[in-house]
Amino acid sequence: MENAMKTPPAQTWDDNVVLSVEHLTMRFGGLIAVNDLSFNVGRGDITALIGPNGAGKTTVFNCVTGFYKPTEGRIVMRHGAGLQADKIEALTRTGRQFNDDGDDRVFLLERMPDFEISKRAKVARTFQNIRLFGGMTALENLLVAQHNPLMLASSMTIGGIFNLPGYRKARAEAIDFAAYWLEKTGLIDRADDPAADLPYGDQRRLEIARAMCTKPHLLCLDEPAAGLNPRESTELNNLLQYIRKDHGTSILLIEHDMGVVMEISDHVVVLDYGQKISDGTADQVKNDPKVISAYLGVDEDEVAAVEESIDMPVIHGKTKPAENGEGGQS
């Protein structure tokens, strides 16, 4: 919480941006799921996307990771530092998906097919309902995630069939890398067990480990703490902090568990009815009357009245039922 206080008003995530969502609109027939949404994800930050049920969070995720094609808007992923505004404008005009700038590439995600976003733009994701390869072992799951480098190493399978030394080396390295992530997620003892056999909390962590095996610049987590007990939640927090600190991977997460959100997020974006209603540090957002009204399902002036009567409005995990109950009707 102290970190948040120190943050200067000129927000860091607007200066060093890894992902920017610009004027994103997603329509399903007559339904507008996301409406003219813009926000930035700072490099090395943990950014949380929150909002009541049905606010359009997962739709934003699916647009960023290419599972939906946005109706309007631009989604830019930057590998190099800085805003690179000129480069992006030039790229937008060419109609290409990304530029050839060595390591400092920029990518226009709305133009790319989903698998290319993971392969080239290095955006990895997990799913709200866990999508592991249940019949494959934990180790195999992590090896599938390293498919593209391994395909190259096996010279598109031909070198692999003859078991050439180059492929053997790459394979050993891939297993080591998978073992590293199994170690970090505390799953190393279950490496040879089928993923469907793992307990729920382990499956969540395995999915994060699998996403990390694609060596992403940005990791998108869709409700990583859903269904976890308090101890597992704490472990998850530590894991995410570790990923951010030691691997420099930026994290964008959707989460309902306010305990997790408030504790680890550097930057919180709040959605309601497909529109951004608040954007700032955890503390700023927590005290924003718009957010409170969205979560409690009351009008803003009512919030003001309530705020006067009780000193400090607090959104914690405890107020969660309200979000499910009345959030949709206000």
* Structure tokens belonging to residue 170: 């790459």
Q: Using the rule CB under 8 A, which residue among 7, 148, 237, 275 binds another protein?
A: 148
Examine residue 161 and tell whether it contacts another protein (CB under 8 A): yes
Q: Using the rule CB under 8 A, which residue among 186, 194, 259, 289 binds another protein?
A: 194
Q: Using the rule CB under 8 A, which residue among 20, 58, 154, 278 binds another protein?
A: 154
Distances (CA, A) of 217 to 116, 124, 244, 255: 14, 8, 10, 20
- Residue 281: name the closest of 61, 75, 47, 119 by CA: 47
Beta carbon of residue 57, minimum distance to another protein (angstroms, whole number): 17
Measured from the CB atom, the residue of 117 and 282 that comes closer to another protein is 117
Q: Using the rule CB under 8 A, which residue among 145, 225, 270, 271 binds another protein?
A: 145
d(CA 114, CA 65): 6
d(CA 9, CA 1): 16
Beta carbon of residue 190, minimum distance to another protein (angstroms, whole number): 10
Please give the residues from 65 up to 94 whose contact with another protein meets the rule CB under 8 A.
65, 67
Measured from the CB atom, the residue of 213 and 268 that comes closer to another protein is 213
Stretch that binds another protein, among 24-32, 189-197, 260-268, 283-291 (CB under 8 A): 189-197
d(CA 218, CA 211): 10
Which residues 6+ apart lie within 8 Å of 101 measured at CB? 80, 87
Distances (CA, A) of 146 to 116, 163, 196, 224: 14, 18, 20, 22
Residue linked to tokens 């497909």:
274
Measured from the CB atom, the residue of 124 and 296 that comes closer to another protein is 124
Examine residue 180 and tell whether it contacts another protein (CB under 8 A): no
**CB-CB contact of 129 with 223 (8 Å):** no
- Residue 19: name the closest of 44, 50, 36 by CA: 44
Measured from the CB atom, the residue of 43 and 125 that comes closer to another protein is 125
Residue linked to tokens 């709200």:
128
Measured from the CB atom, the residue of 150 and 282 that comes closer to another protein is 150
Beta carbon of residue 200, minimum distance to another protein (angstroms, whole number): 15
Examine residue 137 and tell whether it contacts another protein (CB under 8 A): yes
Measured from the CB atom, the residue of 20 and 146 that comes closer to another protein is 146
Q: Using the rule CB under 8 A, which residue among 32, 83, 179, 226 binds another protein?
A: 179
Examine residue 133 and tell whether it contacts another protein (CB under 8 A): yes
Exposed/middle/buried for residue 3 (C-beta within 10 Å: 0-12, 13-18, 19+): exposed
d(CA 13, CA 15): 5
Q: Using the rule CB under 8 A, which residue among 27, 35, 72, 144 binds another protein?
A: 144
Provide the binding-site residues for another protein, judged by CB under 8 A. Answer: 65, 67, 114-119, 124-125, 127, 131-137, 139-140, 143-148, 150-151, 154, 157, 160-161, 175, 179, 182, 188, 191-194, 196-197, 210-211, 214
